Structures are given as C-alpha cells and as structure tokens.
Structure 1
Amino acid sequence: MVFILGIVLFALGICLSVALHEAGHMWAAKAFGMKVRRYFVGFGPTIFSFRRGETEYGLKWIPLGGFCDIAGMTALDEVTPEESKRAMWRFKTWKRTVVMSAGSAMHFILGFVILYLMAVTMGLPNPAAQAAPTEAVISATSCARAATTVEQLNDTACPPGAPTPAKTAGLQAGDKVVSVAGKPIKTWREMLAAVQVASGPTPFVVERNGQQVNLTVDVPRVQRLVADGSNNTTVKDVGMIGASPVQNTAPPLLTYGPVDAIGGTLSFTGTMFSETAKRLIEFPSRIPAVVESIFGGERDPNTPVSVVGASRIGGEAAERGLWEIFVLLLASLNFFIGVFNLLPLLPLDGGHIAVVWYERVRDWFRKLRGKAAGGPVDYTKLSAVTMVLVFIGGAVTLLTVTADIVNPVKLFQ
C-alpha cells in the first residue's frame, strides 16, 4: 500500500512540476504584455476548463505534459488583428528569451525549494560521508575471497580455508601503508591498484607507532567483480590481501537552520547541476544498455529512466521509509528536466531560444554591412530537422518506458 502511495505521490510531484513549467511561460508572457490564449495541464480530452480574462485555463485527462498557448510564438502562427500587436514574435529578443526560459527556471526554483525544505527537516546528503577513504590506513584484516556476482560481493563472510594474506604477513589495524612493491602509496585507492596487479610474495612497508615496518605479503590472485572504468562491471583476476580501510564516520545527512540552509542548499544545488551535466553527456552512450536490458540483460542503475521508472523508484523508497531518497529524486528530476529543456534543439525551449538569438546575431551582421534586418526565421524549413528530433525523442521515451516495465532499475535489493 505504501509502495502505491509513493508512486502516486511521485507522479503528483511530476504533474506539479509540469504545471509550474507551463505557468512560468504564462506568467512571464503576461508580465511583458503578450497575449496568452490558453493554459492547460495534460493532453487529450478536456476534463474541465474556465475562462478568466482573455485566458482559458483547464485540465486534460492525460497528465503527461501541458501547454501554454501564447499568440504569435513564431511569425508563421496565425493571429487575429486584435492579437497582432501583442504577438510574441514582435517583442524584443531578451523578452522572448525570458519567456521561453521561464519554464526551466520554474524547475530550478522548485528544485531549490525542495532541497531547502529537505535541508531544514531531514537534512541534505553530506559529500564527506560519500567520499572514498583517502589515507591507506588499515582498520581490520579478513580474507581474500572470490566474488563474481553482486550477491557474493555483498557477502563479507569468509569461507572456510580462505587465505588471510594481510593477517598472515603481520599487518595490523592502524597500520598505514607507505609502499607496495617499492611503489610509494599515499591513498587507499593507490594501494588497491598496486595490490590488484601484484602476485605472490610482495614487499610492503607500513608505518606503525611512528616507525616503519617491512613486511612481505604473499598476494593470491582471485576472481572479483570490479568496475571497468566506464561505470560497468566485469569479472577480473586480481590480487587481494584481505584488508579494509578506516571507515568514514561523517554523518550521512547534514541538517541546517533556516538561515544557513540557504548557503547549504546553494552549495548542494551546484553539485546537482554538475551531476546533471554529467548525466546529459553520458545519456547517448547509455541507450544501448537500455536496449540490452529489454532483451534480458542486467539493468545498469545508471541507465536513463522514464517517468514510469522514476515513479517506481519513488514508490520503493517510500515503501522502505527512505523519504530523503524520494525527495532527493524529485529534486534531481526537476534539475534534469530544466537543463534538458534548454538544449538548443527544436522543439525544446532551448531550440526556440537558439532561433531567436540566431535572428538577432544575423541582423547585427546585416546592419554592419548596411543591410536591412532580415525577416523572421521560416520554421517550415526547420520542420524536417524538428521531426527527426521528435522521432528520436519518442523512440528514446518508448525504449525507457519499455525497459522500466520489463526490467526496471532496482536501487533496493
């Protein structure tokens, strides 16, 4: 029941985001004096509508989007004689840019508000808690065991007879590894890299109680599931000594007061923008993995998800009482949609902004050459490119929805 409630709440959050996106366009257009004919949330048959002033407001049956109908968004749009003077294409470039970017701005504002409320209630994720151990200091020794599946990797129990290279060689808790096979070591990551390529008796130098101690560790080779550098995993034959680092004791969440939460939220918002940009760059390269997952391949948690998949993850988070993940996912989705919508591709808002500024720059060069300003861009000449992008977008949406139904991302095992 909680799972269903989580899905419904997340879907409602997405609907609110869409409604605010279109409201951003509407409010900006009205502020500049443009005529807004209609503002609707959803598509398909109309559930209800009403008119206030010159604008018709309404709700439609399919809550997967919405629209804000501004008179004369392009010079090709039909307008009545009364609307002609207030047609959007007649307004200055910067005003049209503000109107077209206002939708994404609403996503950014909503994402910030969500993070701020999270900061003063449940807290924001602490980057220090998520950081990998830095110093190569050993906290405990165990065994070197093979692990070729995620389940085996998560099972830390040592099987009978498993070798204990670190313990056998005399490594102790608190030892700081200085060098492996003569190679200086500064971080735990460097130590792991040196151990993984080692085999057999390997000289170690550790710092213990202020003194350097020379040890020889007989490093066995075992089959392990490891990252291959592109966020994918593969089974490799690696060296392993059976030692774990000092655990990060930083709190997972940081809570703030009403005032200092502003700075904390701004800082974390910057981190989320950075992650969003990274995801957008990786987006095309992850589509093949989505296709593979549809036909039975293991679903990579880092592959793109649709609204269906995001809502499902939100439901699972709610079911487990992990509301901080639920809220964080909703905020990150707003940032992603806001940035994605500003890409200079038609029919996205960013594509329309690019056309508007093309006209401005083109007319500036024409003026330098003593020529009159050119006319508005003929959108019919861009229709072929637009249709190709619409087709690609539709295909990606269909793929992600299908994958989220037949092989959904599972963050919680």
Structure 2
Amino acid sequence: MLANILGVVLFALGICISVALHEAGHMVTAKMFGMKVRRYFIGFGPTIFSFRRGETEYGAKWIPLGGFCDIAGMTALDEVTPDEAPRAMWRFKTWKRTVVMSAGSITHFILGLVVLYLMAITFGLPNLALNNLDYNKLDPVVGGTSCAHAATTLQQLDDVSCPPGALRPADAGGLKAGDKVLSVNGQPATSWTGLQQKIQSANGPTKFVVQRGDQQVTLTVDVPRLARLGADNKVSTIGMIGVTPQVPPAMLHYNGLEAVPATFVFTGDMFAQTAVRLVQFPERVPGIVSAIFGGERDPNGPVSVVGASRIGGEAVEQGLWQIFFFLLASLNFFIGVFNLLPLLPLDGGHIAVVWYEKVRDWLRGLRGKAAGGPVDYTKLSAITMVLVVIGGGITLLTVTADIVNPIRLQ
C-alpha cells in the first residue's frame, strides 16, 4: 500500500515538473527574443510564495494543476503599459511568436525523449515487432515445452496450467528450447504456422529433424490426437505435442550509443499512436460514460491525470518501473501533441491565428493592399468558450471514471 501511494505521489510530481518545464519553455524563449515576461507561476489559486528577479515575478500557488507564463501583449487586445508596448509579444515576427508558443510542447517532446533514452539504457524499450507479430513469418524455433491436453470449453482453453498426468510429447521426444524444426515427416517447416499445421495433421510416432546448434538432430515424437475447441467454436481432433514458439524479447536493451537512434524510432511510433488516439478520441467518449455507470472500462481508453497517477502507483507497487516511466513519457507526448491542436485556447490555436494573419497579409500584398489589422479575439470568444466547456466536461467525465471505475494493471 505504501509503495502504491509513493508511486502516485512520484507520478503526480513528474506531471508537475513537466508542467513547470512547459511554462519554462515559453518563458525562456520569450526572454531570448526580448519579449517581456511579467510572471512565471506554477499552480493556480492563492499564492504560496513569490519573489522577483529583474522584471519577472516567480512563484508557486496552492493548486498544482498547471501553471502559467504571463508574457506582455500576447495579442493586440491585451493591455500593456507604455514601457511594455515596444516589447509586446504581438509586435514580434511570426516565426519568433511561433517558437515561443510551441516551446511548451517542444519541452514535453524533449522530456519524453529523455525518459525513453534512459529507459533504453536501463529497463529497455518495448519491442515494437511484437505489436504485429506474424506467425506466418516467424521461424519454427521452439521457445519452450509444455503439456498437451484436451480443451473443449473456453475455460479449459484459457487454462495454461498442466493438469496432473498430462502428456508431454515434446519433452518425451527430446525437443528442447532453441531447436529449429526443419521438417516433420519429411515435409519442410518454414514458419511457425506451417509447423503447427504439420503437427496438427500428424498422428503417432512422427519424425522431426531439428537444427540444434551446429548439428542436425533427428527425433521421433509420439503425437497424440486430442479434442480441441477451435476459433469457429467447433471441437475437432488434432495432433498436439506441447511446444511454444520462440518470440522476440518483450524489451530491447541498448548501450548508450545504440539507444539514440532506437529512442527516435520508438518515439516516431509513439507519435503515430498518439495521432491515432486523438482521432479516435470522440468515439471513445460514450465508453467513458458507460464505465461511470458500471460498464466495462476500456483498458485502452482515455484516462485523466488522476487515472494515470493511479496506474503509476500500481506499477511502482508491483515493481514495474518500466511501465511507470513509459506512461510518463506517453503522457508528455500526448500533452505536447494535444496542445498543438489548432484550437483556442490551446497554444496551437494561437499559432493558427498568427499564421492566419501572416498568410492573409501575404495575399493582401499580392493584390496591392495594405496588411490587415490583428485578429479580433473577441470574435472568437464564443467558439473558445464552447471548446473550454467541452474540454472541461470531458475532463470531468474521465476523472469521474478514473475514480469510480479505474483502469488497473492486469
């Protein structure tokens, strides 16, 4: 229990650090370009403490659910003092404003990369090949041996334990882990699927030729025929010997140099998965509502910070630190991508407005017209409010679901 609480606290702390660095990204780039940063605070609500360094006030507030970086004149509608006006953000070049507004998401991406790199050289990175494992292409190499027993119900089919007295034909015939099966009864075995088909059609003493190290070994395995429930829910009698395939390792480990390209490749896959989940997000919302009222919770469905922290706590409790850090990296990538969506009040929405102004003025210039004025954000306030309400509602739903029907580690 104590380990679980520690995991929750550590994960929440990791999120707080991520948010703090997100806002620091905005602040550092803004200062670098000469914009005036009035305040940099972590959290919301009443102030715990603050201090001033130069022209910027730094501090922390009691509610650690975010933070803010107050840059003077983010839009032309923002009030600025006379001394702030020349350094108002909206006066700077489009590319500089874009860098500042995207710096928060870039910070999340960097954090995710750092976490994954550290995982690569310690715990290892999940093997992406397992996501699309094709047994038609998998070599017929024995990964392990077990028993062979009849299974005519789903319960028996799911039971991977060996009942007392169960047959172990592979062991009895001399098959060992690491053996590559070359042929069965003289018929070549080129894949694991092909090997399975040949075993299922065999009956009685059967000749197996295997590659064991540098030698070819001929074995005789007595193949029993047992009743088995198939994918079509029909019971048929097939040959079974009790072997499992040698699959690629679940985690791949790298040295410090190898970890660099491996981290970028893995990150690219995570970005692709994040994009897919964002597209699928609307269709998963009904599942969240159903889960709140007792429905089955989709283990791959959306989770809030509360849910992610709970999973992080369970991971620490079970000693699965690789899941803890993988979840932390995933959350950083998700927040970074989500924040760049071209919707106000997200940073991506502000970037979209900035580039709209740039393209609009370029087109006006082609027609011999003067540049247009800054976009009037008040005209976008209704759309912004709708998006805020929708976002708040979805956040409330996911938090509720994570409290009453949380996703748990299996």
Deviation at 1:291, TM superposition (A): 1.3
Contact 1:177-1:204 within 8 A present in 2 as well: no
Amino acid of the residue matched to residue 359 of structure 2?
A: V
Single out whichever of 396-405 and 110-119 deviates more from structure 2. Answer: 110-119
Contact 1:138-1:244 within 8 A present in 2 as well: no
Q: 1:392 to 1:238 in 2, by over 3 A?
A: farther
Tell me the TM-score normalised to structure 2 length: 0.80
Structure 1 CA distance for aligned equivalents of residues 20 and 402 of structure 2? 24
Structure 1 CA distance for aligned equivalents of residues 62 and 393 of structure 2? 23
Q: Give the % identical residues.
A: 65
Contact 1:306-1:400 within 8 A present in 2 as well: yes
- Which residue of 128, 133, 138 corresponds with 1:135? 138
Deviation at 1:158, TM superposition (A): 6.0
Q: Give the match for residue 294 of structure 2.
A: 296
Deviation at 1:147, TM superposition (A): 6.1
Contact 1:317-1:326 within 8 A present in 2 as well: yes
Structure 2 CA distance for aligned equivalents of residues 47 and 318 of structure 1? 30
SS in 2 for 1:411: coil
Q: 1:288 to 1:244 in 2, by over 3 A?
A: farther
Q: 1:325 to 1:88 in 2, by over 3 A?
A: same
CA RMSD between the two structures: 3.5
Structure 1 CA distance for aligned equivalents of residues 393 and 195 of structure 2? 45
Contact 2:122-2:253 within 8 A present in 1 as well: no
SS in 1 for 2:233: strand
Structure 1 unpaired stretches of 5+: 179-184, 195-201, 212-216, 225-235
Deviation at 1:261, TM superposition (A): 2.4
Deviation at 1:329, TM superposition (A): 1.0
Contact 2:140-2:190 within 8 A present in 1 as well: no
Q: 1:13 to 1:190 in 2, by over 3 A?
A: farther
SS in 2 for 1:58: strand
Q: Give the match for residue 107 of structure 2.
A: 106
Structure 1 CA distance for aligned equivalents of residues 97 and 283 of structure 2? 34
Structure 1 CA distance for aligned equivalents of residues 395 and 235 of structure 2? 43
Single out whichever of 240-249 and 277-286 deviates more from structure 2. Answer: 240-249
Q: Give the match for residue 29 of structure 1.
A: 30
- Which residue of 258, 261, 279 corresponds with 1:260? 258
Q: Give the match for residue 327 of structure 1.
A: 325
SS in 1 for 2:270: helix
Q: Give the match for residue 214 of structure 2.
A: none
Question: After superposition, where does 1:92-241 map in structure 2 within 5 Å?
Answer: 92-128=93-129, 132=133, 133=135, 134-135=137-138, 137=140, 139=142, 142-143=148-149, 145=151, 155-157=159-161, 209=209, 222=229, 237=233
Deviation at 1:177, TM superposition (A): 10
Q: 1:82 to 1:187 in 2, by over 3 A?
A: farther
Aligned residues: 377
Contact 1:107-1:335 within 8 A present in 2 as well: yes
Q: Give the match for residue 275 of structure 1.
A: 273
Structure 1 CA distance for aligned equivalents of residues 73 and 294 of structure 2? 48
Q: 1:190 to 1:298 in 2, by over 3 A?
A: farther
Q: Give the match for residue 214 of structure 1.
A: none
Q: 1:380 to 1:252 in 2, by over 3 A?
A: same
Structure 2 CA distance for aligned equivalents of residues 14 and 23 of structure 1? 14
Amino acid of the residue matched to residue 160 of structure 2?
A: T
Structure 2 unpaired stretches of 5+: 211-217, 219-223
Question: After superposition, where does 1:11-30 map in structure 2 within 5 Å?
Answer: 11-30=12-31
Structure 2 CA distance for aligned equivalents of residues 47 and 103 of structure 1? 24
Q: 1:117 to 1:354 in 2, by over 3 A?
A: same
Structure 2 CA distance for aligned equivalents of residues 376 and 177 of structure 1? 75
Structure 2 CA distance for aligned equivalents of residues 189 and 77 of structure 1? 66
